[in-house]
Amino acid sequence: MDATDTSGQLEEALERLHSAGPERDGWLSNHAPMVVEALAAHGHAGAVHRWLDLYRDRLEDFPDRLAPVTDDNWRAALGDPRRIADWTDHFSRTLADRPWRDVLAEWWPRLLPGMYGGATHVVIRAGHAVRALDAGESAPRLAELAHALGYWAARHQPVTGFAVLPGAPTAGESLDAVPPIGEGHLGFRNRLAAVDRLPVWADDVTDPDVARARLTELVRAATHRYATHGHGEPTMLVHAATAPNAVLRTLDSLPRELWAPSLHAAWTASAVVTAIYAPDEPVDYAPPAQLTAEEVMERALAHGDEHVIKLTDTALDVGDDLALAAAQRAIELSPPLIP
pLDDT in tens, 200-216: 999 999 999 999 999 99
Please, which residues bridge with residue 20 across strands? 61
Rounded to whole angstroms, how far apart are CA atoms 46 and 36? 10
Both 237 and 331 in one domain: the answer is yes
With a cut of 70, list the residues of the chain below it in pLDDT: 1-7
- Where do runs of H (alpha helix) occur along the chain? 9-17, 32-41, 48-55, 74-77, 84-97, 100-111, 121-135, 139-154, 171-176, 188-193, 208-229, 239-248, 259-277, 293-303, 306-318, 321-333
> In this structure, are 121 and 150 located in the same domain?
yes
- Indicate if 51 and 34 belong to the same structural domain: yes
What is the structure's pLDDT at 4? 39
* Model pTM score: 0.96
Q: Are residues 15 and 109 in the same domain?
A: yes
pLDDT of 335 reads 97
In total, how many domains does the chain have?
2
Q: In this predicted model, what pLDDT tens digit does every residue of 292-314 receive, in sequence order?
A: 999 999 999 999 999 999 999 99
| pLDDT at residue 174 in the model | 98
Phi then psi for residue 79, to 5 deg, are: 80, 15
> What is the reported pLDDT for 3?
39
Considering 126, 154, 182, which residue would you say is the last residue of a domain?
Answer: 154
Question: Do 102 and 170 belong to one domain?
Answer: no
The answer to whether residues 165 and 308 belong to one domain is yes
Note whether 251 and 272 are same-domain residues: yes
Sequence-distant (6+) residues with CB within 8 A of 105 are 254, 255, 258
Asked if residue 51 and residue 105 are part of one domain, the reply reads yes
**The domain containing residue 114 runs over which residues?**
3-154
Domain boundary among 120, 154, 188: 154
pLDDT of residue 7: 60
Q: Select from 244, 234, 236 the least CA-distant residue to 269.
A: 244
Cα-Cα-Cα-Cα torsion 273, 274, 275, 281, nearest 10 degrees, comes to 150
Q: In this structure, are residues 119 and 239 in contact, taking their beta carbons and an 8 Å threshold?
A: yes
Q: Are residues 86 and 192 in the same domain?
A: no
Residues 82 and 150 in one domain: yes
**Cα dihedral 231, 236, 237, 242 in deg (nearest 10):** 140
Q: Let me know whether 213 and 80 are in one domain.
A: no
Q: Are residues 147 and 212 in the same domain?
A: no
